[in-house]
Amino acid sequence: MFFALTVYGQNTVMDTWPYMYPEFATGTAYLRDGKKYEKEMNVHLAKGRLHFIDNGMIKEINTPDIILVDLNGEQFTVLDGNVVKAVGDLDKGYVAIHTAVDFQRLNESQGAYGMTTTNSATMKMSSVDLVGVNTNHMELRQNKNSGKEIALKSDYYIVTGGIVSKATKKGIEDNLDAAGKAAFKTFQKQHKIKWKDPESLLQIVDFLNSLQ
């Protein structure tokens, strides 16, 4: 299964709408039991979960059941319990992008109305985390712009042969033997890798596959 994907700029995300996309969009989820579901879907960035609309209410698909999701022209799979964007070939190797709410930056927020910073941040995290499941979709949608913008972060991983490596020089080397590290050093001299560019990182996928 080859995924030819376009990486789009991240939309502004509000604490009242902690979703990847500004609207729920028609998507297809393929599950491990062979079933597939076509629903209006979105990815909850605080929980790393796939949400869908069912009779006007927001529900959640059990993450371990998911193999592949085709949503909004992009493809997703599950990595370490989170729904992540997948660029590449699930069988031969791919780049995984985990975009999530940056709770560390949320924790650094200043307290308001006399509250301590810790209490203020805890309340913010709780409010973001609770948005979603068993919520009326239309009510949530109507109020989605009434909150505050929240910071996001994206972590990149390379998955080949069942091995997950953080997309950094050290992350790749940690999963290589001495010969592999030497080959990787030569590879880096020949290729200028952009560590936040999935298309560039696919060159490392090819490199790792060449070692097998």
Q: How confident is the model at residue 11 (pLDDT cuts 50, 70, 90)?
A: low
Half-sphere exposure of 45 (CA within 13 A, CB side): 27
Q: Name the phi and psi angles at 112, rounded to 5.
A: -130, 155
AA letter at 157? Y
Overall domain count for the chain: 1
Taking alpha carbons only, the member of 212, 182, 188 closest to residue 201 is 188
pLDDT tens per residue across span 135-148: 999 999 999 989 88
Domain contains 10:
yes
C-alpha 48/C-alpha 54 separation (Å) is 19
Instruction: State how far the Cα of 161 lies from the Cα of 164, in Å rounded to an integer.
Output: 8
* Residue 128 structural domain: 2-166
pLDDT of residue 92: 93
Question: Would residue 146 count as lying in a domain?
Answer: yes
The answer to the question of residue 211 being in a domain is: no
Pick from 33, 38, 74, 40: which is nearest to 56 by CA?
40
The answer to the question of residue 196 being in a domain is no
- The answer to the question of residue 193 being in a domain is no
